[in-house]
């Protein structure tokens, strides 16, 4: 007998398959022919298999692709940071924080595995023992209305959360099992647990354990103690139940059960379990958060972000409410708080004793759900210890006030027009509350960095919870005399100098057949003489301003307004006195350009935006730094950014105007700011009526501006002027942030010559020492080359003295004002614009 050669593997495989399958087929055929019972069993198994295949195909036909989870991005809120890098706000409809697997403490992961899925690391997505228990529980509770236990693994719960939804049915459970098996094929156990701990809903609008740790304990997950981690692990079963105070005992029992499971699983010792079980729940009702009261600023940021990136996930991967953006803003918390308080103080000061101005809103209290209606109104106030509530009942001199938490208290100080259903502001008084008198007048305030155009603070009204209309950016108002510096800039560009003599005399202008002749006058009706350009700006003389505008040409004046981005108007002289409409932001930005040597920025509230991975996807500063990222230093000069801003005004002209505006503070209509003893410049403004009071000004680093007026413009009262109503607001702003204001004066640009002149005549002098005293005879004045004035003569001094005496006589005739001599001439800090400045 000879040995045959071994068969190749393919041939051997076909041989074995033919032999084994053939043998099995023959065996099946014999059984089928010889046994009826075998036939029935085989048919039953075949039918069962077909049903199983059909059911699987039906359930799996529309299931989402589990592989999408490999690229899944958690919908995250947008986090906003201030100028110092600290978080100041987030735009969120849900509380979410995404962490990496290694960021979760081991005890926290062990608590969830013990509570939800102790075989997590051994099963393939489905725990069949747990599923069998769930089926039995479902069968016993069928028809009772009770919800059966889930029996779902962590992988199944993840499938439900991210891919299926929370439908309560057998088919959903079967789909959940299919998806869980698929998820286990595409994700590791660590990836599954990371997604689960980031996505699980845990109550108090929090999703994921980090958000829940902040919501329930005001701590990060890394700071949680054992009993706190165990509490978080009970929340998936009933996220909206266990966090309530009335369910505390049930929560403690469930927490202790989780601790027991952790001990049985070997994660903790009996002593650790006992110590943790002895701890109270320790839930917090309100989180401690850094809170910057900057609603108007933050709403402007939100508006710009939505315009750029969209609002929801459907709008793109970097949307505001799902993209997880990190936004660095220019918000300065210290300046913002000062701006808010200063404007509120100014509004309350004007309101004085005017009394109650009416309800904030009205709601129907007859159906008894007033607390819910008040909550959904989102009205509130953050002023001292005031609150917003609704009058729940009024009976003669008695009334009660109700708050959004359902609390009620007696109300005192009841005005005659108060009725049930009125939503009002109240302040604590005795054992109850008294009606708070909110000012009816409003206004806007904005502060900006001179060198960058970054908006540092913005207050668009008394409180954004009462009205979200932003008067700093949206209210278009007549700026009055605050526009005059730009008329003077046009005059300086047209050959005038700060020492040029300008008539302070009546000016009439024919505006056409329809408008007829318009005659301009100063506030108070005074006029006469010829004065220096500087004096006209310091004293806000309307007639001198119109003369300058007509000499420069109104088209040039309007062009200057447009270049400074103040507004675009018709070339009528009235616009030289502030008759056109603009906003606080535009005026502040234009003044910042004056301080910045004529370079205009686009005002910005956002510095840059990063996506969830830290990549910068938008920035305000578009400048490129050529050579900054070279691989090796090539020995060339260090690369530098170019200058920021667009040059819109001659730097020398801008400085001349700024230098004259310093005189407005030293001896002019804003003299009440002189006591700050800082090198400030600025201009007051008061519009016809008066309907609005303005001030805009600042330092070489910070410029701020504001107006005060009614939303529907009407007379504020004859005594109201920019100097006594708006300037004090700016003064308080500076006083409360004094350490932020430098004592260094503005630096003159190249091409400016500082020359000693006689302040009254504008003539050049060669003797005498210039002084910063308000009434110094000799001052420094800024001139462009070859524009310096001639030397003063004795006759000039006599003429200047004569004009001074005539001014005193005119002032005495107008109001019996106290006479002053040249030697003792001083202005009081409560000086108002008795020399003009009103349009």
* Helix locations, 602-754, DSSP H: 651-667, 727-736
Residues of the chain with pLDDT > 70: what percent? 80
Q: How confident is the model at residue 126 (pLDDT cuts 50, 70, 90)?
A: confident
Give the C-alpha separation, 324 to 91, whole Å: 10
Q: How confident is the model at residue 522 (pLDDT cuts 50, 70, 90)?
A: low
pLDDT in tens, 237-249: 888 888 887 888 9
Q: In what helix (H) or strand (E) does residue 517 lie, and over which residues does it extend?
A: strand 517-520
* Helix locations, 646-726, DSSP H: 651-667
Q: How confident is the model at residue 145 (pLDDT cuts 50, 70, 90)?
A: very low
The sign of the dihedral angle between the CA atoms of 469, 472, 473, 478 is positive
pLDDT in tens, 374-398: 999 999 999 999 999 999 999 998 9
Give the C-alpha separation, 740 to 298, whole Å: 22
For residue 199 the two structure tokens come to 């996505």
Radius of gyration of the chain, Cα coordinates, nearest whole angstrom? 39
The average pLDDT across 203-227 equals 92
pLDDT at site 146: 45
Q: Measuring CA to CA, which residue among 124, 129, 137, 191 is closest to residue 162? A: 191
Give the C-alpha separation, 804 to 810, whole Å: 10
Give the C-alpha separation, 337 to 382, whole Å: 12
Give the C-alpha separation, 526 to 543, whole Å: 10
Could you say which of 114, 152, 404, 481 is catalytic? 481
**Is residue 73 within 8 Å of residue 612, measured between CB atoms?**
yes
pLDDT at site 157: 82
pLDDT at site 10: 66
**Which of the two residues, 167 and 618, has the higher pLDDT score?**
618
Give the C-alpha separation, 563 to 766, whole Å: 38
Q: Measuring CA to CA, which residue among 102, 282, 81, 333 is closest to residue 197? A: 102
Q: How confident is the model at residue 687 (pLDDT cuts 50, 70, 90)?
A: very high
Give the C-alpha separation, 51 to 46, whole Å: 9
Q: Measuring CA to CA, which residue among 681, 685, 684, 686 is closest to residue 656? A: 681
- With a CB cutoff of 8 Å and minimum separation 6, the contacts of 678 are 699, 734, 741, 743
How many CA atoms, within 13 angstroms, populate the side-chain half-sphere of residue 117?
25
Give the C-alpha separation, 726 to 479, whole Å: 12
Q: How confident is the model at residue 837 (pLDDT cuts 50, 70, 90)?
A: very low
**Is residue 568 within 8 Å of residue 557, measured between CB atoms?**
no
Catalytic status, residue 481: yes
Query: Is 0.85 surpassed by the pTM of this model?
Result: no
**Is residue 690 within 8 Å of residue 636, measured between CB atoms?**
no
pLDDT at site 289: 63
pLDDT in tens, 718-751: 899 999 999 999 999 999 999 999 999 999 999 9
Does 835 score more than 70 pLDDT?
no
Give the C-alpha separation, 402 to 393, whole Å: 9
Does 476 score more than 80 pLDDT?
yes
**Which of the two residues, 139 and 349, has the higher pLDDT score?**
349
**Which of the two residues, 748 and 166, has the higher pLDDT score?**
748
Does 503 score more than 90 pLDDT?
yes
The average pLDDT across 161-169 equals 58
Give the C-alpha separation, 81 to 88, whole Å: 5
pLDDT at site 133: 56
Catalytic status, residue 538: no
pLDDT at site 307: 96
pLDDT at site 19: 58
For residue 710 the two structure tokens come to 């009614």
Burial (Cβ within 10 Å: 0-12, 13-18, ≥19) of residue 533: buried
pLDDT at site 346: 97
Q: How confident is the model at residue 644 (pLDDT cuts 50, 70, 90)?
A: confident
């Amino acid at each position: 007998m000879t040995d045959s050669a071994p068969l190749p593997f393919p041939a051997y495989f076909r041989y074995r398959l033919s032999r084994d399958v053939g043998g099995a087929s023959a065996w099946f055929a014999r059984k089928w022919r010889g046994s009826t019972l075998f036939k029935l069993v085989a048919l039953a198994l075949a039918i069962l298999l077909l049903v199983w295949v059909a059911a699987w195909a039906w359930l799996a036909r529309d299931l989402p692709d589990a592989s999408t989870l490999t690229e899944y991005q958690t919908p995250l809120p947008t986090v906003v940071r201030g100028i110092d890098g600290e978080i100041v706000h987030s735009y969120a409809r849900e509380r979410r924080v995404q962490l990496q697997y290694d960021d979760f403490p081991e005890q926290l992961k062990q608590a969830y595995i013990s509570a939800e899925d102790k075989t997590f690391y051994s099963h393939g997505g489905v725990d069949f023992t747990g599923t069998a228990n769930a089926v039995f529980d479902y069968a016993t509770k069928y028809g009772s209305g009770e919800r059966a236990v889930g029996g779902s693994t962590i992988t199944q719960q993840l499938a439900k959360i991210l891919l299926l939804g929370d439908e309560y049915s057998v088919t959903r459970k079967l789909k959940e099992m299919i998806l869980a098996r698929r998820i286990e094929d595409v994700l590791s156990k660590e990836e599954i647990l990371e997604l689960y701990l980031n996505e699980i809903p845990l109550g108090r609008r929090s999703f994921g354990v980090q958000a829940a740790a902040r919501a329930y304990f005001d701590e990060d997950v890394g700071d949680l103690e054992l009993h706190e981690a165990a509490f978080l692990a009970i929340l998936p079963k009933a996220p909206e139940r266990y966090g309530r105070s009335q369910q505390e005992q049930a929560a403690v029992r469930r927490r202790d059960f989780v601790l027991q499971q952790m001990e049985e699983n070997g994660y903790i010792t009996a002593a650790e379990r006992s110590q943790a079980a002895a701890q109270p729940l320790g839930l917090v009702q309100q989180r401690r958060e850094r809170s910057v009261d900057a609603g108007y600023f933050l709403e402007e940021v939100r508006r710009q972000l939505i315009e750029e990136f969209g609002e929801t996930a459907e709008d793109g991967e970097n949307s505001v409410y799902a993209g997880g953006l990190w936004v660095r803003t220019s918000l300065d918390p210290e300046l913002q708080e000062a701006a808010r308080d200063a404007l509120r103080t100014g509004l309350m000061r004007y309101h004085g004793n005017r009394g109650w101005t009416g309800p904030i809103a009205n709601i129907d209290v007859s159906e008894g759900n007033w607390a819910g209606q008040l909550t959904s109104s989102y009205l509130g106030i953050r002023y001292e210890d005031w609150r917003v509530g609704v009058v729940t009942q009024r009976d003669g001199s008695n009334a009660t006030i109700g708050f959004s938490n359902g609390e009620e208290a007696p109300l005192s100080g009841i005005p005659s027009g108060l009725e049930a259903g009125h939503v009002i502001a109240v302040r604590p008084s005795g054992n109850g509350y008294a009606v708070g008198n909110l000012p009816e007048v409003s206004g806007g305030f904005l502060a900006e960095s001179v060198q960058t155009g970054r908006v540092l603070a913005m207050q668009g009204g008394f409180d954004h919870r009462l009205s979200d209309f932003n008067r700093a950016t949206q209210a278009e108002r007549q700026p009055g005399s605050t526009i005059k510096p730009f008329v003077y800039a046009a005059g300086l560009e047209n050959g005038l100098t700060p020492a040029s003599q300008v008539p302070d005399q009546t000016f009439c202008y024919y505006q056409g057949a329809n408008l007829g002749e318009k005659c301009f006058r100063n506030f108070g009706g005074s006029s006469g003489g010829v004065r220096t350009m500087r004096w006209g700006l310091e004293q806000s003389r309307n007639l001198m301003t119109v003369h300058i505008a007509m000499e420069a040409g109104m088209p040039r004046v309007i062009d200057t307004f447009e270049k400074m981005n103040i507004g675009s108007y018709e070339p009528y002289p009235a616009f030289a006195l502030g008759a056109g409409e603009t906003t606080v932001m535009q005026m502040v930005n234009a003044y910042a350009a004056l301080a910045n040597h004529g370079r205009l920025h686009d005002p910005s509230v956002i510095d840059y935006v990063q996506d969830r991975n830290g990549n910068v996807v938008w920035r305000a500063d578009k400048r490129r730094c050529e050579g900054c990222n070279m691989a090796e230093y090539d020995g060339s000069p260090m690369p530098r950014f170019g200058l920021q801003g667009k040059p819109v005004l001659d730097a020398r002209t801008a400085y001349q105007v700024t230098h004259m505006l310093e005189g407005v503070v030293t001896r002019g209509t804003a003299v009440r700011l002189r006591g700050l003893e800082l090198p400030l410049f600025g201009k007051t403004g008061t519009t016809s009526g008066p309907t609005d009071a303005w001030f805009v000004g600042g330092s070489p680093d910070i410029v701020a501006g504001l107006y005060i007026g009614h939303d529907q413009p009407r007379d504020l009262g004859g005594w109201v002027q920019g100097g006594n109503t708006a300037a004090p607001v700016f003064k308080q702003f500076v006083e409360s942030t004094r350490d932020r204001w430098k004592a260094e004066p503005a630096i003159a640009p190249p091409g400016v010559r500082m020359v000693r002149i006689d302040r009254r005549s504008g003539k050049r002098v060669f003797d005498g020492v210039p002084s910063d005293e308000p009434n110094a005879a000799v001052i420094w004045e800024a001139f462009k080359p070859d524009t310096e004035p001639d030397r003063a003569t004795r006759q000039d001094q006599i003429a200047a003295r004569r004009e001074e005496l005539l001014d005193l006589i005119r002032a005495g005739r107008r109001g019996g004002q106290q006479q002053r001599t040249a030697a003792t001439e001083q202005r009081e800090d409560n000086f108002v614009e008795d020399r003009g400045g009103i349009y």
